[in-house]
Amino acid sequence: MKPTRFEYLRVESAAGAVAAMAEHGDGARILAGGQSLIPMMNFRLAQPTHLIDITRVEDLNKVETANGDIVIGAAVRQATVENDAAVERDCALLVAALELVAHEPIRHRGTVCGSLAHADPASELAATALALNAIFTIQGTSGVRKVSASDFFQGPYMTAIDSGELLTHVAFPKVSPTTGTAILEFSRTHGNFAIAGAVAVIDLAGDGTIAKAALSIFAATSSAKRATAAEEFLVGKVPSEENFRAAAELALSPDECSSDMHGSNEYRSQIGRVYVRRALADAAAKAGGNK
C-alpha cells in the first residue's frame, strides 16, 4: 500500500518544527529517521496531513558531552552513536543496545530519539534509558522541559511528549569503568523483535556485595519497565546464582507478561526470568572494572 496524501515541510530549527506543529495541529508528524513512521504510513495505520522534516537541523544532529552526560540530538542516526568512540568508552551499554536494534541498514536511517519517542514495548533503547535514568529534553510552544526516563515512558507507544511538542535531545549518563552493565535478549532470529530481554547495571561495594542495582525488562511486558522490587532485593546481597534467581522471580511474573502468536505469557515470563538472571550475572562479572 501507499500512504495517504500529505504535505512535506523541511525546517531549519527546533523552534521552526514546534511552530509548524502548532500551525498544522494534530495532523502534523515529525520525520527524522522514519523507520517506524513510514511503514505505518504505507499501511495507513498513520495518516499525517503534514510531515515536518528535522534532519537538516544542525543543533539536532550532534552527539555531545555535557555535565557528565552523552547528549544525543533528535536527528542523530543510531549508527552514528553506535560507531562513536567516545560513546563506546563512556557508555558501552548504549552501544551494546544499539547493536541489537534491527539490522545495520535500519540503524543507518533510524534515530535514537525517534526509537525512544516511538516507545515500542520491545525497544532495547527504551529499556536502556530506564536502567541508566536518561533525561529527555522536550520543547513546545510553552518552552523547554526535562523529563526523566521513569516519567517519559507511560505505556505501549505512549510517552510524556504532548501534542505539539518535540523531543529534541536525550542525555545518557556516563557509566563509571567500575560499573558492570549488560543487555541480553531472546529473539527468533537476529534483528527480529525480541520476545524477552533485560538490561542490568550493577555497582559493587568494597566487601563485594551489591551496592547498587538497576534492572529493566523489555519485550516480555506491554512496555519497558524497571524491576524495582528486584533491585531493592539485590542491594547488600552477594552476587550469586541463588540471589539472581530470586531477583528474577521478583522481576517478572506471568500475569504482567504479554501473550501473542510468538508466545504465551507463561512462556515469556519463563524466558524473561532466564535472561534477567543471565544479564545480572554478566553485569556482576564486569563490575569492579573486570570488563
pLDDT 10s digits, 169-221: 999 999 999 999 999 999 988 889 999 999 999 999 999 999 999 999 999 99
Looking up residue 205, the CATH number of its domain turns out to be 3.30.390.50
**What is the maximum span of the chain, computed from C-alpha positions, in angstroms?**
64
Domain that holds residue 45: 7-53
Same domain (yes/no): 48, 65: no
Q: Predicted confidence band at 291 (pLDDT cuts at 50, 70, 90)?
A: low
Same domain (yes/no): 31, 134: no
Which of the pair, 280 or 261, is modelled with greater confidence?
A: 280
Mean pLDDT of the region 3-26: 97
Q: For residue 153, which phi and psi values (nearest 5 degrees)?
A: -85, 120
Same domain (yes/no): 206, 254: yes
Mean pLDDT of the region 145-171: 97
Same domain (yes/no): 101, 188: no
Number of domains making up the chain? 3
Nearest by Cα to 280 from 245, 236, 237: 245
pTM: 0.96
Instruction: Judge whether 2 lies within some domain.
Output: no
Same domain (yes/no): 244, 285: yes
Looking up residue 33, the CATH number of its domain turns out to be 3.30.43.10
Rounded distance between C-alpha atoms, residue 205 and residue 169, angstroms: 33
Block residue for cell numbers 541489537: 100
Q: How many residues does the chain have?
A: 291
Rounded distance between C-alpha atoms, residue 167 and residue 14, angstroms: 9
